[in-house]
Structures are given as structure tokens and as C-alpha cells.
Amino acid sequence: MARAGAIQIGDGAEYPTRIGRLGDLVISAASGEYFELAKQNRMFVASQQAGAVFGTALTATAVTLTLFNPTGSGVNLSVIQTSVALTTTPTATEAHVIVYAANVTPGQVAPTTVTALGVRSALLGQAPQNQGQAYSAATLPNTPVVVRVHPFSVNVISTAANVVGSSGAMDFVNGGVSLAPGFAVTLQGLGGANIAQGIMSIIWAEIPV
């Protein structure tokens, strides 16, 4: 049995499938793709609060944005989205990219010498119950390796006119990078000697193991 017309029910209630007037099954996103995760306090956001140097090579001393899933958290961290934007205009010829870098060996130790970022529920106003930790600075166990390339890049092709190829970009990761307990991922810069500066943010969901 199915019912035509609008339906509004509470949590835990059972109700017939909704159909249209022509007998078609009605399915819709209704309240946004990630609202349910946010409402359930399973989606979280963190951001740098000021611009920082992206860096020019992979390093264990991360000073950009790092997401860490503590051992014993009981959840996997599913990266949903990241954003990167310039806060300064490069003044010399430069080619720069942002990558996701991680230590991928099981049993590694947790990052040390960390500077924690504030983590907020994606439903602003709801007290976060996060397991994942975000850092603006962290020392990783070893020099990380690239696991994904961010769409953000800087390409200054004219020093006279300061022509910048990109000033910001968003990566809809949608779980394409996820962290098991005990693992971390960091956003780092790769490029030439001229060091770009910018700000980064991250959104992730926490899914029971």
C-alpha cells in the first residue's frame, strides 16, 4: 500500500511509501544531501582562521590543515568536502598545487606537537560530538605520501600583470578519502620557491566502524 500526497512524520514512525497521482514512486532529496548526517551530529566542519603558507614540498611538520582519527574512536572519518583559497596575491612567477598527503602504514603513532582547530557540528548551534580532530599544525610520524590531488592550483604566468590562474577551489571528495582509526590526512602545498599563502577548510562525516 502506498499513499499519494505530502507526508510529514516523526523520527521512528512507520509510514507507507509515497507515490504520485500516476502511480509513480516519489523520491526526493527534500532537505539537502547531507542534512540528515548533520542533524544526527555525524557531520563536522573545521577551518583555519587565517591564511598560512602552503609549503613547497611534502613534510612531516604540517602547518596547514590536518584531520586525525584517534585510535579507538569507533568511527571512520569520511571526508566530504574541502576548500582552499588564496589570502595573498603571488608577486612572482609561480606554479603551485595542493595535495592530500598521509602516512599509510598501519600502527603509526598519533601526530604530536599539535595546534587544535575548533570543530563544529555541521548543524550550527548543535554541540558537536566529534571523534575526529582537526589541527592547524601537527608533527606527523613520517613524511607523508600523496593520496589525492586537490583541484586548487596557482599559476602565475605574468609577473608584470600578476595574472593568477586560480584564487580558490572546492573539492567534493564525497568519501573518496576516508580515515580509519589511527590515521591522519593533511593538505599540503607542492610548488616552486615562491610560497603562496591561503586558507583551508574541511567537512567530514563520522560513520560507525
pTM: 0.85
Closest CA to 43 of 174, 188, 136: 174
pLDDT at 186: 96
Whether residues 58 and 138 share a domain: the answer is: yes
Amino acid at 42: R
Whether residues 180 and 82 share a domain: the answer is: yes
Contact 209, 182 (CB under 8 A): no
Whether residues 22 and 65 share a domain: the answer is: no
pLDDT at 45: 98
CB neighbour list of residue 14: distance below 8 Å, 6 or more residues apart: none
Ramachandran category for residue 74: left, alpha or beta (phi over 0 → left; psi -120 to 50 → alpha)? left
Give CA separation, 61 vs 8, 55, 71, 143, 187, in Å: 51, 10, 21, 8, 12
Ordered mean pLDDT values, 10 residues apiece, the chain (209 residues)? 61 74 74 88 96 91 94 97 87 80 92 97 96 97 95 68 66 96 95 77 97
Whether residues 15 and 74 share a domain: the answer is: no
Whether residues 22 and 41 share a domain: the answer is: no
Cell of 186: 593533511
Domain that holds residue 6: 1-30
Whether residues 71 and 130 share a domain: the answer is: yes
pLDDT at 67: 98
Whether residues 77 and 171 share a domain: the answer is: yes
pLDDT at 80: 97
Number of domains, the chain: 2
Whether residues 130 and 167 share a domain: the answer is: yes
pLDDT at 95: 74
Contact 162, 90 (CB under 8 A): yes
Whether residues 25 and 109 share a domain: the answer is: no
Give CA separation, 28 vs 3, 13, 38, in Å: 15, 19, 18
pLDDT at 165: 55
